[in-house]
Structure 1
């Protein structure tokens, strides 16, 4: 079983922000694979189904981004997932809009959601897909940038990033992380 966890902030105020692109990707995967995202469990909204022939859990933590590790650990216990079974999907303002970077593990790169997960799991060795939402305009506060919505000019590129991220995740699940890294990084 694989656990695909898209990070974001819960609540309507954050719904269409750049920081919530992980949630958008989970919604799109759920639509494509007909996975019903059910009632809250383990501090997340989650549903299980199949990506090709692989059983997968799609989840969105109900914790704030900076406390994502709490929900991720609960999901791992509930669904018997090891860190290497995960693919954590996060925004990255250091990557150009639409650029993808899949890794088996490694540094949090300053992302507080990943820092929380690393702290709670006790390891950096869990796959993560960074989705570019940047670059942040010069002089703009990073927090303000990630909590802003995509501009009208960026909307199509953001939708394309969601579609490509879904394809990357599907390939990682069916053909392995290495194959997806070679195709999408």
Structure 2
């Protein structure tokens, strides 16, 4: 059985903990809790934990570089564990998707996301799986940087746990049933905004 590296993109530091850019970290935190995986190891500027999600051997990885610089750190971790891009799954925010929407993508370009750009540059390929989580766009064009670094607004925070849970379900489906089944089940799906 092969090992899958699951990377959550985000920025280190308490000031970014609930920012839109850090949803990848949040999803990995939930996966860690669901599957009792300890994340106490550190190597190459990446905090990581090894464990199992169902019968699958996984490494959950939180790069401790800033978002735009994560690629080299993740690449070194992959080399260390002898894992290629086909066994890399990256969870990240996506402004092209409305808040609460999920999209799984098997490969592709960076789509303007600097964290994904850094990974593609370091790996020399865009052939890795992404779980893209919609955070929406700022109302004022040109405020992209402050928008992704700001905390989720009150409305979004009230449904954030639902989005994180759906993302974890999608990752578990990828591991258990494969990417095609996960794409069929989750792509385009939006959390229910019921109170």
| TM bracket, shorter-chain basis | over 0.9
The structural deviation recorded for 1:69 is: 0.4
Aligned residue for 1:95, secondary structure, equals coil
Of residues 20-29 and 151-160 in structure 1, the stretch that sits farther from structure 2 once superposed is: 151-160
Kindly indicate whether the alpha-carbon contact (under 8 Å) linking 2:137 and 2:144 is maintained by their aligned counterparts in 1.
Answer: no
Name the TM-score, length of structure 1 as normaliser. Answer: 0.97
Mapping of residues 80-95 of structure 1, within 5 Å: 80-95=82-97
Mapping of residues 23-172 of structure 1, within 5 Å: 23-139=25-141, 141-172=143-174
Aligned residue for 1:153, secondary structure, equals helix
Aligned to 1:177: 179
Separation in structure 1 between the aligned mates of residue 41 and residue 109 of structure 2, nearest angstrom: 32
Instruction: Report Cα offsets for 1:73-120 as digits up to 9, x if no partner.
Output: 011012221101011011011211111111110111000010010011
The structural deviation recorded for 1:138 is: 3.1
Aligned to 1:4: 6
Separation in structure 1 between the aligned mates of residue 62 and residue 128 of structure 2, nearest angstrom: 17
Aligned residue for 2:155, secondary structure, equals coil
Q: How many residues align?
A: 185
Separation in structure 2 between the aligned mates of residue 162 and residue 170 of structure 1, nearest angstrom: 12
The structural deviation recorded for 1:42 is: 2.2
Separation in structure 2 between the aligned mates of residue 121 and residue 30 of structure 1, nearest angstrom: 25
Kindly indicate whether the alpha-carbon contact (under 8 Å) linking 1:9 and 1:19 is maintained by their aligned counterparts in 2.
Answer: yes
The structural deviation recorded for 1:140 is: 5.6
Aligned residue for 1:22, secondary structure, equals helix
Regions of 4+ moved over 6 Å: none
Name the TM-score, length of structure 2 as normaliser. Answer: 0.92
Instruction: Report Cα offsets for 1:157-184 as digits up to 9, x if no partner.
Output: 2211100000000100111111111110
The structural deviation recorded for 1:135 is: 2.9
Which structure 1 residue ranges, 5 or more long, are not aligned? none
